[in-house]
Structure 1
Amino acid sequence: MLYSLLRPLVFALEPETAHRIAFNAMETANRLGFYHAHSVPCQSRSIMGLTFPNPVGLAAGLDKNGEHIDALAALGFGFIEIGTVTPRPQPGNPRPRLFRIPQASAIINRMGFNNNGIERLIANVKTMSYKGVLGINIGKNFDTPVEKAVDDYLTCLRKAYRYASYITVNISSPNTPNLRQLQQATELDSLLATLKLNQQRLADEHGKYTPLVVKIAPDLELPEIDSIAALLMKHRIDGVIATNTTLSRAGVETLPHAREAGGLSGTPLAKRATSVIARLHHALQGALPIIGVGGIMDTAGATEKIEAGASLIQIYSGLVYRGPHLVREIAQVLCKADGRRADVAGVA
């Protein structure tokens, strides 16, 4: 209710300014104890060797530098993903680069991996009190040629490895030139082989196995999804996130800002992301878990992702349009559904 009253004021601000003010307010509220981190009654789930207290996570992109982990954790997330982070700091694309389309509950962004670099992110992670599941999403610097992208991913992998619960390899942002080329079979095969080999070496070095997850785009054709699924299984990747933002403008074509370059998220992405999840689920046949993200604005949207084959879900645009209460709202519904399934299984 409070967020509904405040949203018109927030939306009157330029989006990046509103983002900064919202985080400052959230940090203040957390320090003053306004958040009451009552856990949602839920059957925890073991996925990728990690224990998730509930299935609702924060998608990467909201907290790129890992500066607000503890305040975000107080909202009730079952896991948090920070980043995308690159080896070197970079400013991202020129502003304006973030646009709301409220008529469609959508957002277009062309941020361009703006972040303070992996060293700063790790320094922030070291100061957090949060002890839950933390994903670190890694990418390449904008000026690194795509043929040398593996070097950037390896730098981030090695530096983040001991601090992350899992590491997400972002090869699907539409806002870094040529990045999505890494989803093509030859490039992806080589990238995954190298990352997997280094994961094994790092596991031996640190005495800790940190799962590798790959984040894919929603704009793939069915044969491309099948090809990616085959490569994920071939290289024994631990999980897949479906999906990133879309280049499509279906559903917003006539609305203000629709012609802005960048990736579209929010309600118009929902069905496209769900269809990718369903195809992945069919192709993978349970070989690795799917984290579903894209257009989840309410409990029905979250349930659709789970029914399509996702084991966990993540939200981002839903927080902007619905507010922090959405986290617990979705968690309560998904956890109750888990309880009903467990009761049925017990009877059977």
Structure 2
Amino acid sequence: MYKSVLRPILFSFDPEKVHYFTFGLIKLFSNLGFGGIFRSLYNVKNPKLQREVFGLKFDNPVGLAAGFDKNAVLYNELANFGFGFIEIGTVTPSAQEGNPKQRLFRLKDDKGIINRMGFNNNGLQETILQLKKNKHKLLIGGNIGKNTATAPENYTADYLECFYALHPYVDYFVLNVSCPNVGSDAKLNDRDYLQELITEVQKANKTFEKQKPILLKIAPDLNNDQLDEIVELVQITNLDGVIASNTSTKRDGLKASGEMLSEIGYGGLSGQPIKEDSTRVIRYLSQKSNLAFPIIGVGGIHSAEDALEKIKAGATLVQIYTGFIYEGPSLIKKINKAVLNAGL
């Protein structure tokens, strides 16, 4: 139904406008009482799907990646589609418009998306207002970042402001330092600075009676030497885990024409084209660290087989985003059933 009827219609319009139109539809149908129908169609309930990771209990291993519900306005409704967890954000201290439009592009032949949204979001306080509406259907992650206009000497302050304010409302945190759409900034990719940032956030975490897991989201374009540094960084700072991976700046092997890619310009590539790089990063980290920390696998999951590949490579949990857009909500059910059938 989704792929044969709805998707062709939705894909005939501007991607960003369709994104918000779809939000409106889901809200409307949920308000009309369709939540129970969605749950009966897409939920897979089985104790064997449950996962205990970094001290949290997940009903199933399939989550929604950050960037879809940036402002935490739809997570209660999205929970009806069978997710085990949802990550909101990226949230910055102040609201910001992000990059100029058009900034979201479909690569239909590649089953991919290029975006250069630029951390557009409604800001910390508006997000908190939305999170206070949490019906606690599933676990919520908070993906946090810095404002684009923030000076380098204040980057850490931005992350800490988000961390302190969101701490009562999310179940885990993700430090987003690898998004390619907020301007090139060497500081966020500097190992020494990352250690400083993580250390400061860990100190803040210890001021709370109940500490929250902290994860680092990394790029799929890192080489083995850089991944070695990530493993060392996790060990030194006692990070709770890694999300692999964010979007890519590469354009290798795409079916999209050079002319089309030139017209689109810069941005982060997601979806099927980054599947192999994401899996490579997961496998390397898990083997190099000897499974010393949990990895959430994301990037190019468009089928149950794609998800199983990530799990077999070393991912404890998986997230979807572009695959959710291309394949529809049935993908969540397919992955969970495949995990059960595979005995993973």
Q: Normalising by structure 2, what TM-score?
A: 0.94
**SS of the counterpart of 1:33?**
helix
Tell me the number of residue pairs that the alignment of Structure 1 and Structure 2 aligns: 335
1:55-134 equivalences in 2 (<5 Å): 55-134=61-140
Identify which of 223, 231, 234 aligns with 2:233: 231
Q: What is the match of residue 167 of structure 1?
A: 173
Q: Does the CA-based 8 Å contact 1:146-1:178 persist in structure 2?
A: no
One of 110, 118, 141 as aligned partner of 2:147: 141
Q: Please state whether the residue corresponding to 2:87 is helix, strand or coil.
A: strand
Indicate whether 1:41 and 2:74 are aligned.
no
8 Å CA contact 2:110–2:256 kept in 1: the answer is no
Q: Corresponding residue for 1:344? A: none
- Residue by residue over 1:61-108, the C-alpha shift from the partner in whole angstroms, topping out at 9 and shown as x without a partner, is 001000001111011000000000100000000000000010100100
Q: 2:271 aligns with which of 266, 269, 272?
A: 266
Q: Which residue of 2 aligns with 1:22?
A: 22
For residue 180 of structure 1, report the CA deviation from its aligned partner. Answer: 6.0
In structure 2, how many angstroms separate the alpha carbons of the residues matched to 1:332 and 1:254?
33
Cα displacement string for residues 1-51 of structure 1 (whole angstroms, at most 9, x for unaligned residues): 244211111011111111011111111122222243244133211101000
Task: Give yes or no for contact 2:66–2:90 (8 Å, CA) kept in 1.
Answer: yes
Alpha-carbon displacement from aligned partner over 1:241-300 (angstroms, at most 9, x marks no partner): 000000000122643642321000011010011001111112222221000000101011
CA distance in 2, matches of 1:31, 1:196: 40
1:325 Cα deviation after fit = 1.1
C-alpha spacing 1:211/1:110, structure 2 compared with 1 (3 Å):
same
In 2, Cα distance between the equivalents of 1:2 and 1:222? 39
Over residues 215-256 of structure 1, what are the superposed CA-to-partner deviations in whole Å (9 max), with x where a residue is unaligned? 001111111111011111111111110000000001226436
Identity level (%): 43
Aligned partner of 2:284 among 275, 279, 288: 279
SS at match of 2:206: helix
1:252 aligns with 2:254: yes
Matched, 1:292 2:297: yes
Q: TM-score, normalised by structure 1?
A: 0.93
Distance 1:47 1:6, change over 3 A: same
Deviations 1:190-226 (A, max 9, x none): 111111111111x2xxx21211011001111111111
Is contact 2:271-2:322 (8 Å) kept?
yes
Q: Counterpart in 1 of 2:9?
A: 9
Unpaired segments of 5 or more residues in structure 2? none
Q: What whole-Å deviation, never above 9, does each CA across 1:102-141 have from its counterpart, x for those lacking one?
A: 0100100000000010111010010131332100100000
Greater Cα shift, 241-250 or 170-179: 170-179
The equivalences for 1:189-338 within 5 A come to 189-201=195-207, 203=208, 207-252=209-254, 254-255=256-257, 257-259=260-262, 260-337=265-342
Structure 1: state its 5+ residue gaps: 342-348
2:44 maps to amino acid? V
Mark the CA change 1:180 to 1:294 in structure 2 (over 3 Å): closer, same or farther. Answer: farther
